Amino acid sequence: MAEDRDESQKLKRIAASSYDYDNDPRWSDYWSNILIPDNLASRPGVIDHYKRKFYQRYIDPELVVEPMSTGSSSQSTRQSTPSSASSAPNGESARPRNTGSSTARSSGPTSATTGSPPPTSLRWDRQTIQFSINAWVFVVAVLAIFPFVQRNLSNRAYRLSFMGTAGHSLYSLYALYGVPRAWNMQALQVYFQTVISTKDFIYFIYCLSFVTSNLYLKFALIPIMCRAIENVAKFLRRNFTRSSLYRKYLEEPCVWVESNTTTLSILSSHAEIGLGFLLIISLLSWQRNIIQTFMYWQLLKLMYHAPVTSGYHQSVWTKIGRTVNPLIHRHTPFLNTPLSAVQRWWFRCDIHTTGRQLLESGMRDYIN
């Protein structure tokens, strides 16, 4: 029983770490009401602790959240907490929500002092670096799909788009999860179990599967463009609200993007699944790549089962099944047996094993 409880808590912690907090408006409100010193707010361990407490409160009450191991952080928090908030929950300090012009703190550190720089001033923190990479990826991707660009320049921009997104994903994983505690098999296994089901890892493998290919499918740029424009819009909305240039030209597009994140995710999932069928069709051409096709379908299998992408992918596959299955039963019943075998392989998925195989295949293909 104890082993079952430990395994259950382990899976819950993995689900909590892979939850998409940025797209949950409750997380912004929750984080803005936590008062901790800025030097502690920038630590990934502190942010992860409060994310787990948020997940416990709003998503899964059965998740057990251990107190932060650093005594200095709790001590500093208590020193910064007013006496009127002494009845707040463990590790959390409530404060009145700002209704003025100051912006609420989201997933990154901001200065809580009166001498803090205005929101329009750029500081090279984690969020600014990620914004710069995403903006660069979006511009290069637009250049890659623009029809009047020379072919060599377009192909180079195509590869640079995937390389930029892969670099952004690796940087995000490093900023949120750091590096493995040790470089042995056990520590690496624990580390990869934490990051394998995250969206950053999935998009890293996605980019790795296309940046090494000689097949230029501009259709593959749709998911990374949707992700880049979503991250750019979030950053602009949080840091440039006082800019007249932003209010005049960028506010309406950014508001539309933030209010249609679900639409962008659905578009990305349709494009990702469509790419799988395009790769199967490409096997009939001279540019076929069997390893890339198999690797990408393993990635689609991971996307189908990973919590951060499963909702959108399962919805698309359900629509495909409702359309295709009656046609197969009516006109090609001999395909029922092979389709049943494929479905058994599809639904038999271990996220950690699949992710590890994808990483090994992608790195081997990249090196070769």
Mean pLDDT over 97-118 rounds to 41
DSSP for 170-225, please give it.
HHHHHHHH-S-SSSSHHHHHHHHHHHTTSHHHHHHHHHHHHHT-S---GGGHHHHH
**What's the domain range around 208?**
126-302
- Please name which of 321, 174, 157 lies closest in space to residue 224, comparing C-alpha atoms: 157
- Residue after which a domain boundary falls, among 66, 85, 104: 85
The answer to whether the CB of 347 falls within 8 A of the CB of 340 is no
Verify that 135 and 72 share a domain, yes or no. Answer: no
**How many domains, in total, are found in the chain?**
2
322 occurs within a structural domain: no
Average pLDDT over residues 171-191: 86
CA 238 to each of CA 106, 111, 218, 258: distance values in angstroms, whole numbers, following the listed order? 9, 14, 31, 11
If one compares 290 and 120, the residue with the highest pLDDT of the two is 290
Domain end marker among 36, 62, 85: 85
Please indicate, yes or no, whether residues 56 and 181 belong to a single structural domain of this protein. no
**pLDDT over 70 (residue 83):** no
pTM of this prediction exceeds 0.85: no
| 130 and 73 part of one domain | no
pLDDT at 120: 43
- pLDDT classification of 24: cutoffs 50, 70, 90: confident
Query: Could you tell me the end-to-end alpha-carbon distance of the chain, in angstroms, rounded to an integer?
Result: 47
Examine the pLDDT at 309 and tell me if it is beyond 60.
yes
- pLDDT at 289 exceeding the cut of 70: yes
Average pLDDT of the residues in 253-260: 90
Rounded to 10 degrees, the C-alpha dihedral 7/309/108/178 comes to 50
Residue % of the chain over a pLDDT of 70: 74
Looking at the structure, tell me whether residues 163 and 19 fall in a common domain.
no
Residue 8 lies in a domain: yes
Confirm whether 90 is domain-assigned.
no
Do 234 and 139 belong to one domain?
yes
Q: Tell whether 203 and 272 lie within a shared domain.
A: yes
The answer to whether residues 64 and 140 belong to one domain is no
Predicted pLDDT at 203: 93
Residues 192, 296 share a domain: yes
Q: What is the mean pLDDT of residues 100-115?
A: 40
pLDDT for res 279: 92
Q: What phi-psi label fits residue 178: left (phi over 0), alpha (psi between -120 and 50 degrees) or beta? A: left
Same domain, 232 and 282: yes
- Asked if the model's pLDDT at residue 327 lies above 50, the reply is yes
Q: What are phi and psi of 293, to 5 degrees?
A: -65, -45
Torsion of CA 258, 263, 266, 268, to 10 degrees: -60
Residue 322: both structure tokens together? 């409702």
Indicate if the pLDDT at residue 11 is higher than 70.
Answer: yes
Specify whether 155 is located in the same domain as 64: no
pLDDT, position 78: 41
Tell me, yes or no, whether 321 lies in a domain. no
Q: pLDDT confidence of 93, banded at 50, 70, 90?
A: very low
Alpha carbon separation from 134 to 137, 156, 163, 237, 314 (Å, rounded): 5, 17, 11, 15, 27
Give the model's pLDDT for residue 286: 84
Position with higher pLDDT, 268 vs 354: 268
- Please indicate, yes or no, if residue 344 is contained in any of the structural domains: no
Q: What is the DSSP letter of 115?
A: T
Say if 246 falls within a structural domain: yes
Q: Which of 9, 27, 165, 187 is nearest to 107 (CA)?
A: 27
Let me know: does 308 contact 198? Beta carbons within 8 Å. Answer: yes
Assess whether 171 and 58 both reside in one domain. no
Domain boundary among 33, 63, 85: 85
Residues 212 and 289 in one domain: yes
Residue 72 in any domain: the answer is yes
| Distance, CA of 100 to CA of 108 (rounded, Å) | 20
pLDDT, residue 163, reads 94
Q: Is 349 inside a domain boundary?
A: no
pLDDT per residue as tens digits for the range 129-142? 889 999 999 999 99
Query: What count of residues does the chain have?
Result: 368
For the stretch 146-177, pLDDT in tens is 888 888 999 999 999 999 999 999 999 988 88
Contact, 103 vs 110, CB < 8 A? yes
Which is more confidently placed, 13 or 78?
A: 13
Task: Kindly state the average pLDDT of the residues 16-34.
Answer: 76
CB-CB contact of 107 with 22 (8 Å):
yes
**Residue 39 pLDDT grade (very low, low, confident, very high; cuts 50, 70, 90):** low
